[in-house]
Amino acid sequence: MKTTVVCGLLGSGKTTFIRNFVAGRTEKTGKSEKTVVLVNDFAKAGIDGEIFSAGGIESVELPSGCICCTLKLDLVTTIQGIVKQFSPERLLIEPSGVASPSGVLEAIESAGTGSASVIGIVDATEFAELYESEMYGSFFEDQIVSSDVILVNKTDLATGPAIDAAERLISTVNPRAILFRTINAKIDVPLPDAPLQRTITPGNSHLHFETFSFPLADKMEFALVQQIFGDLSRGKFGRVARAKALVSTTNGPYRFDITFGKIDVVRFDKNVTAGRIVVIGESLDDAGIGQATQSSLRT
């Protein structure tokens, strides 16, 4: 079994990469490689697993915690269970955007399923600025050092100087990594299935964010969801690093995302049967968020 860890900060493009990667391999080979995605959402109400299922990708969710620390033992037993139940040719692991890749790699070694390659994804629009601000300390170091291949993503949204600065920083921290510039985390060349001379450094450098999840009404006014996400992005409920929701609206099923203040709204591939929202950040007003989302249940 080939194992690949896909890491990156919240909203960098991990889920998009996995969907493109699985679809791309099927198109090139003309047959479907038996693939399972193990996805770790930091909140109790996972969303990414349903996104994969909508695209016809087999997934297993490990929600409510971080697999590099509190759920490390669960990760080991879950990997072993996937091998026994599915016997996949490839296992893709998507840790939450706050997880330490080195911690995940330690757990994979403990599972006894062989080594794993690591694909790192960075947002070119903000990586250099965030890195140089030292806002996330050793977390960024761990992400970059552990990666074999790094996608400098969202280059269509970034300036030339921002892309160049990101690549210089990455090459300084991890000169062995293979770099690709990508749009929508899409890449058309083969990626390594084995690690490239990596040394795992034990440690725990995951990010410490608060996380809350709330149910949403079976059908909501589209404008109301827009208002809630607008308030979240403007800091009304605290510093929101990431928010994501699957919701059935009066305009149809939609996926809403916030990544560090930037809102993205995309029509979802199938009907949403249980609307929910996950909010990740610092100094969050969970009561205020709960009141805003619960009011939707009374509409």
Please write the tens of the pLDDT for every residue from 253-292: 999 999 878 899 999 988 888 899 988 888 999 999 999 9
Using the predicted structure, report yes or no on whether residue 155 has a pLDDT greater than 90: yes
User: What are the boundaries of each domain within the chain?
Assistant: 2-181, 210-297
**Which of the pair, 299 or 113, is modelled with greater confidence?**
113
CATH of domain 2-181: 3.40.50.300
Q: What is the pLDDT of residues 217-252, one digit of tens each?
A: 888 999 999 999 999 999 999 999 888 899 999 999
Report pLDDT for 207. Answer: 63
**Residue range 13-64, pLDDT digits in tens:** 998 999 999 887 766 655 667 899 998 876 555 677 777 877 778 888 876 6
Region 166-170: mean pLDDT is 95
Query: pLDDT-based confidence at 203, cuts 50/70/90?
Result: low
The pLDDT, as a whole number, for residue 42 is 60
Residue 299 banded pLDDT, cuts 50, 70, 90: very low
pLDDT of residue 198: 64
pLDDT at residue number 248: 93
Judged against a pLDDT cut of 70, whether residue 71 lies above it is answered with no
Q: What is the pLDDT of residue 55?
A: 72
pLDDT over threshold 50, residue 153: yes
Which pLDDT belongs to residue 261?
82
Residue 212, pLDDT above cutoff 90 = no
Secondary structure string (H, E, C) spanning the chain: CEEEEEEECCCCCHHHHHHHHHHHHHHHHCCCCCEEEEECCCCCCCCHHHHHHHCCCEEEECCCCCCCCCCHHHHHHHHHHHHHHHCCCEEEEECCCCCCHHHHHHHHHHHCCCCEEEEEEEECCCHHHHHHHCCCCHHHHHHHHHCCEEEEECCCCCCHHHHHHHHHHHHHHCCCCEEEECCCCCCCCCCCCCCCCCCCCCCCCCCCCEEEEEECCCCECHHHHHHHHHHHHCCCCCEEEEEEEEEEECCEEEEEEEECCEEEEEECCCCCCCCEEEEEEECCCHHHHHHHHHHHHCC
Q: 100-151: per-residue pLDDT in tens?
A: 788 888 888 888 888 899 999 999 998 888 888 776 667 778 888 889 999 9
Residue 76's pLDDT is what? 85
Top CATH class, 210-297: alpha beta
- Alpha carbon distance 162, 198 (integer Å): 27
Q: What is the pTM of this model?
A: 0.75
